[in-house]
Structure 1
């Protein structure tokens, strides 16, 4: 029988999609974005879905909704920016209440496992108090919590997207993280294959049964004529960020009207005219459809192409306007990353009785030093854990 989970802050359901690929079954998704929940319901037909403010949703009502079914996992990505770093932590701070709602659900349902994802900046030194608070909250509820930064391109996603992943279990053993499946580049001596590419995404994750969803080419056209003219000169995989790029790619009549020497660090803050390369993985897909351009066509990506790069299956349909589709896609956890994490949790579930109990042995500095190490595979007997006091 498949283990059941609840997805808090589910968005369009990228995390749920990947966990179901791994062998879990989704019971419920909750998100305040009504359009994202429409997408979630459309693609998770056997799960319940609630669009609303999680603060106003009682755990009693959820228990009544799902009946006596055992929740094995609670997952989600609550914002954690609002924790105070000076003085006493304020649970009433409106910027961090959603984290406490996550804790409330964990306390009520007592799942065997928890999975929480967040931005990599959460491990920055300035957020040390936040980090300790998160671990302490779950530890007080009886969970062994580990934290690691995972990069999506190591798990079959054709995109370099890094997320902080908290894993917790109620069995007092080290959590297992997925082993790396793809290497970074040809320079690495490992026998692992190279990362999947944008071309792989377009060839494998755009069309299903002769149909392509969310692929409006008209809306992917560039309305600004100067921008479109400039893009015609940008080679595949290139962009303009420095003066040398402008000189290399653009004719003088299409140069940007900027004084390069007076720009901070003599560069654009973000690269402009950023064409993807078919032969490598993409940078992080975000909610702004103008961040990247098609590798060889003079246009933006379509929502389907962005979803393919995020590793969504080609039959995963997004609801709403074009901007709403992009917001859902850009905010999602890549399904293939979630699949790898789900498989690691299920692996732990099978071997937990044979594993030794663990203690908190590392301090925050040690965590920060090792959390961004991507080259080492995660052994099931290794763990990363914070010292709370």
Structure 2
């Protein structure tokens, strides 16, 4: 795409969305995020600049100045979605939804030619839909053509059951997301991570520090050994059950202590995706939870994606947060392909 189309990625994290655009040949000028620990991964894997800024207070002129003169300006981003997520426990105190209003403010000032926003589907319902309606109304008041839809990432080659809200806005015409590429040929867990070297729980693979998994205590080791592929705690003998599972209220937690199935897609990856008790994150065959590298691949990051500077140390918690919060790289590529197709039709300059 040369230098004609230039992108700034807001709330960029470690670069899942940016990587999708770079794969499609777009020029990503910069990614902006409040979390400085994302800098190494973003810059190393994407050959782009990371700006450590608070987008609530960052002046829009600084963003406008990033774009070269006479270039077509594309602004993309995924405002942190914890407030909108069904996993969020503190919706009443979590004010991260305000970041979407910051996104709107920046759009008002920068006036990009094309915009894309990705988030969780629950944003459509959060606060009775007010936050999302305000975002769309602002775009339409600025005369953008707006489209949005709920996208199933597995239909586009992400080996994971992950539904996302994808919005496009353009000065030219409506942007339609490309047709599903894997509607009838999902990429399975086996296809995604089945080739990785087997390891024991608590062991690190010598050639990849991210291919390591937590050590299980004896009772959890027995639990994973008693769990069939695709199964969970309902398959255990009574002596393995947690007290909460014995209560009527505990029966609603179907997906904790579950195993993945080789021939299915993975469940939705979260920031706690290497914890056996935090979801259906047990390896399909080996008696352990998945590793950070396996989680990253299931998020459709390339196998060689670097998440931390090897000359330093970074906590497992931070890396898992980066992986779980990321836009799947392949979904980023789908968003980029959709915009590219749009530009081929409507940009005649």
Which of the five TM-score ranges fits, normalised by the shorter chain?
0.7 to 0.9
Counterpart position of 2:89: none
Partner Cα distance (2:27, 2:341) in 1: 16
- How far the C-alpha of 1:127 sits from its partner, in A, is 2.6
- 2:214 equivalent among 201, 205, 221: 221
Provide closer, same or farther for how the CA distance between residues 273 and 79 of structure 1 changes in structure 2, counting only shifts above 3 A.
closer
Q: Deviations over 1:247-273 (max 9, x none)?
A: xx333432333574x423x61424232
Question: Could you say which residue in structure 2 is the equivalent of 1:250?
Answer: 236
Counterpart position of 1:156: 157
| Alpha-carbon distance change, 259 to 142 in structure 1, aligned in 2, over 3 angstroms | closer
**Distance (whole Å) between structure 1 residues aligned to residue 157 and residue 20 of structure 2:** 12
Q: State the alpha-carbon separation in 2 of the partners of residues 107 and 281 from structure 1.
A: 39
Per the alignment, in what secondary structure is the counterpart of residue 56 of structure 2? Answer: helix
CA distances 1:117-144 after superposition (whole Å, capped 9, x unpaired): 1111122385332232111111122211
**Offset at residue 274 of structure 1 (A):** 0.9
State the TM-score, normalizing by the size of structure 1.
Answer: 0.75
**1:37 corresponds to which residue?**
39
- Of residues 186, 190, 203, the one that matches 1:195 is 186
Residue of structure 2 in register with 1:129 after alignment: 130
Counterpart contact for 1:177–1:344, Cα < 8 Å: yes
Distance change (3 Å), C-alpha of 1:122 and 1:239? same
1:97-126 deviations in Å (ceiling 9; x for gaps): 322321233233322210001111122385
Closer/same/farther in 2, CA of residues 236 and 250 from structure 1, 3 Å limit: same
Q: Does 1:310 align with 2:299?
A: yes
Give the Cα–Cα distance (whole angstroms) in 1 for the partners of residues 126 and 97 of structure 2: 18
Q: Residue 342 of structure 1 aligns to a residue in which SS?
A: helix
Instruction: Confirm or deny that 1:287 pairs with 2:271.
Output: yes
Q: Within 5 A, what are the aligned runs for 1:1-389?
A: 1-2=1-2, 3-45=5-47, 47-65=48-66, 67-68=68-69, 70-79=71-80, 95-124=96-125, 127-171=128-172, 173-183=173-183, 193-203=184-194, 213-217=208-212, 220-240=213-233, 245=234, 249-258=235-244, 260=246, 262-264=247-249, 267-288=251-272, 289-290=274-275, 291=279, 292-319=281-308, 320-352=314-346
Name the larger-Rg structure: 1
CA contact (8 A) 2:104 2:135 kept: no
Compared CA separation, residues 349 and 8, structure 1 to 2 (3 A): same
Contact 2:146 2:170 in 1 (8 A): yes
Q: Which moved more, 1:61-70 or 1:28-37?
A: 61-70
- Aligned partner of residue 56 in structure 1, secondary structure: coil
Query: Bigger shift: 337-346 or 124-133?
Result: 124-133
Q: Which has the higher contact order (CA 8 A, sep 6+)?
A: 1
Residues 353/53 of structure 1: CA separation in 2 closer, same or farther (3 Å cut): closer
Q: Distance in 2 between matches of 1:109 and 1:312?
A: 30
In the alignment, the residues of structure 1 paired with residue 83 and residue 214 of structure 2 have an alpha-carbon distance, to the nearest angstrom, of: 39
- Segments of 5+ residues of structure 2 without an aligned counterpart are 85-93, 198-205, 309-313
- Secondary structure in 2 matching 1:285: coil
RMSD across aligned C-alpha pairs, in angstroms? 2.7
